[in-house]
Amino acid sequence: MSMRFVLSLLLTLLPGAAWSAMVEEPVRHTLDGVAMESVLVYDDSGPASRPSVLMVPNWLGVTPAARVMARQIAGRDYVVLLADVYGVDVRPKNPNEAKQAASTLRADRALLRARANNAMDAMLAAGKKVGADAGKSAAIGFCFGGGTVLELARSGRELKGVVSFHGNLDTPNPKDAGNIKAAVLVLHGADDPVVPDAQLAAFQTEMKAVPGIDWQLVSFGGAVHSFTDPDANTPGRSQYHERTAQRAFALMRRFFGEIF
């Protein structure tokens, strides 16, 4: 992760933040015999009560880069759980392994939703011990994680909002949008070949079919997939876009200001 990216994201997310008190704690949780290990990230000098944010990373899962991102997002304002939805025995070492792990869960949306809900439960239980406000929770995700938090919302989970960064928008049963209780913010690269125009149109039709959903979709010109990932460097497909990343995180912060 480039130092330029870290510094620019610090300025965007957390102006004036101090990092000396950041804490990372492993959080074990189990579902149907599968053990998972997420990471609770927070500043122990922060406010006594603050919102909690579930963060589902990209298809590589819980990596050092994802931990850096979780710290940046948490700052002094939030308690973040970097979610493991694969299980402790699944730690992709390369894109091929990541594709297999992500595809397995995306092929079984009921299981994906169950894993995401299990991570939410783990976040609320662990967050309560460090001052997180259980009534103020949200979920964010990147790429595979973006699609995951949208499925979490479609499952009917009670939370204030979800934010998808360059995530998949498709779902097997669009009528599940009727279960959504959270506000929805989708941050999309207008030139993303992984999420083609047909998928984008289907998502908008899905949202429009349910009156009352609070949803927003922002499409960034010139951006492709993985625009927040400084390690993404496949031109025309998956590539970091600094300007778009800064704008997207600023919109996330504004969205949090509204829902919390």
Q: What domains are defined for the chain?
A: 3-15+22-259 (3.40.50.1820)
CA 151 distance to own-chain centroid: 11
CA 1 distance to own-chain centroid: 18
For CA atoms 220, 242, 50, 26, give the dihedral sign.
positive
In this prediction, residue 17 carries a pLDDT of 46
Q: State the pTM of this model.
A: 0.91
Q: In the chain, which residues have pLDDT < 70?
A: 1-20
Strand (E) or helix (H) holding 27 = strand 22-31
In this prediction, residue 46 carries a pLDDT of 83
In this prediction, residue 47 carries a pLDDT of 84
Please give the Cα distance from 82 to 27 (Å, whole number).
Answer: 9
In this prediction, residue 48 carries a pLDDT of 84
Strand (E) or helix (H) holding 163 = strand 161-165
In this prediction, residue 237 carries a pLDDT of 97
In this prediction, residue 159 carries a pLDDT of 96
In this prediction, residue 12 carries a pLDDT of 52
Determine whether 78 is exposed, middle or buried from the number of CB atoms within 10 Å of its CB (0-12, 13-18, 19+). buried
Please give the Cα distance from 185 to 157 (Å, whole number).
Answer: 16
Give the tokens for residue 179.
Answer: 């279960």
Other CB atoms within 10 Å distance of the CB of residue 229: 24
